[in-house]
Amino acid sequence: MTVSAKTPDQDRTVIDWLLDGDVSIQYQTHRDLLGDDRPDLRARIAREGWGAQLLGLRNPKGHWGEAFYQMKWTSTHYTLLDLKNLAIAPNLAPVQETIAQVIQTHRGPDGGIVHATDAKKSDVCINGMFLNYAAYFGSNADDLRSVVDFLLKQHMPDGGWNCQSNRRATVHSSVHSTLSVLEGIHEYRANGYRYQLNTLLSAGEQAVEFLLRHRLFRSQRTGEIFDPKLLMLTHPSRWRFDILRALDFFQLAGTGYDERMQEALDVLIKKRRKDGTWPVQARHPGKVHFTMERTGSASRWNTLRAMRVLKHFNQRPVV
């Protein structure tokens, strides 16, 4: 299915609807669908809408929630990930100060970032996400070296990562952990970091192959869908893998089309509603700062991400 040179009327209507959303949606719609980078819109993300709301919840101790990883979705960790995914401008001094504080207080004995100051073992998934937003917000290169070393040490023979690998005997990678680390590697490279870069990129290529061998959601051994939740469209994804998050990573990283992606692309295309939008199909339970979009409703986040995925891979739904 090939995109025609002329954008259908329905697509234009959907884009207009996206441009009525939060300023972060407006900015990414201009950047990713209309090819018009708008620094004026990006600057507004910190001053209005979801971005301003999140920044305003930072407490006098320089954290969000109760601590770096408490309580889960309202914690500093996941708030920083949310801010990064909003595409907020990275040169925010309060955010950079918070990340520097985390590096100083939460570096574990193994070199990774630990979820609590008294923890002895780092979590691969947390460190992949940490590298993602720390690189995005321009953390000091030397401060990220031990995180990179930790992730490389945990790289598994099958090509991916598993957050249990440094806690118990683990023989197979996790799609969740693997995607989180891949996102971190991408931001590390995109923001000009050099330490162990070639080794990281090689590990990343193996990790992409790991995901593709599974066609993103199928058991390599049986060919069966190993978790139906992977096909549900969520946002924010947090640490959890789903097909839209994976495909959106591929378009962000500039990964070329591979026929092993096609089944996931077909599933995504079929989830498009008659009005041209995509829904929020599920949410991950837990307290949040505020709800961006409600389950079952048309989702600007998922519609934006689906449209830029299909644009990147030169595919479109039949309407």
Helix intervals (H) in 92-174? 93-105, 124-136, 141-153
Q: What whole-number percentage of the chain has pLDDT above 90? A: 92
* Domain spans, the chain: 9-312
At residue 10 the predicted structure's pLDDT band, cuts being 50, 70 and 90, is confident
pLDDT score recorded for residue 226:
92
**Mean pLDDT on 165-174:** 84
Q: Tell me the torsion sign for CA atoms 68, 72, 78, 80.
A: negative
pLDDT tens digits, residue range 85-109?
999 999 999 999 999 999 999 999 9
pLDDT above 70 as % of the chain: 96
Please compute the mean of the pLDDT values over residues 195-200 and round it to a whole number.
Answer: 98
How confident is the model at residue 290, as a pLDDT?
Answer: 97
Average pLDDT along the chain? 94
CB atoms within 10 A of CB 98: 21
Q: What is the pLDDT of residue 11?
A: 83
Q: Which of 277, 268, 224, 226 is nearest to 246 (CA)?
A: 268
pTM: 0.95
Rounded-to-integer distance, Cα 255 and Cα 222, Å: 26
Average pLDDT on 149-170 reads 92
- pLDDT at 6 (0 to 100): 42
Let me know: does 144 contact 129? Beta carbons within 8 Å. Answer: no
Dump strand ranges (E) for 19-95.
Answer: none
Distances (CA, A) of 172 to 63, 156, 230, 274: 35, 8, 17, 40
At 283-318, the pLDDT tens digits run 999 999 999 999 999 999 999 999 999 999 998 654
Looking at the domain that runs over 9-312, which CATH code has it been given? 1.50.10
Across the range 267-289, mean pLDDT stands at: 96
Confidence band for 167, pLDDT divided at 50, 70 and 90: confident
Asked if residues 16 and 25 have their Cβ atoms less than 8 Å apart, the reply is no
Q: Which two tokens stand for residue 185?
A: 């590697």
* pLDDT value, residue 319: 44
3-state secondary structure of 234: strand
* Cα-Cα end-to-end distance for the chain: 12
Amino acid at 24: S
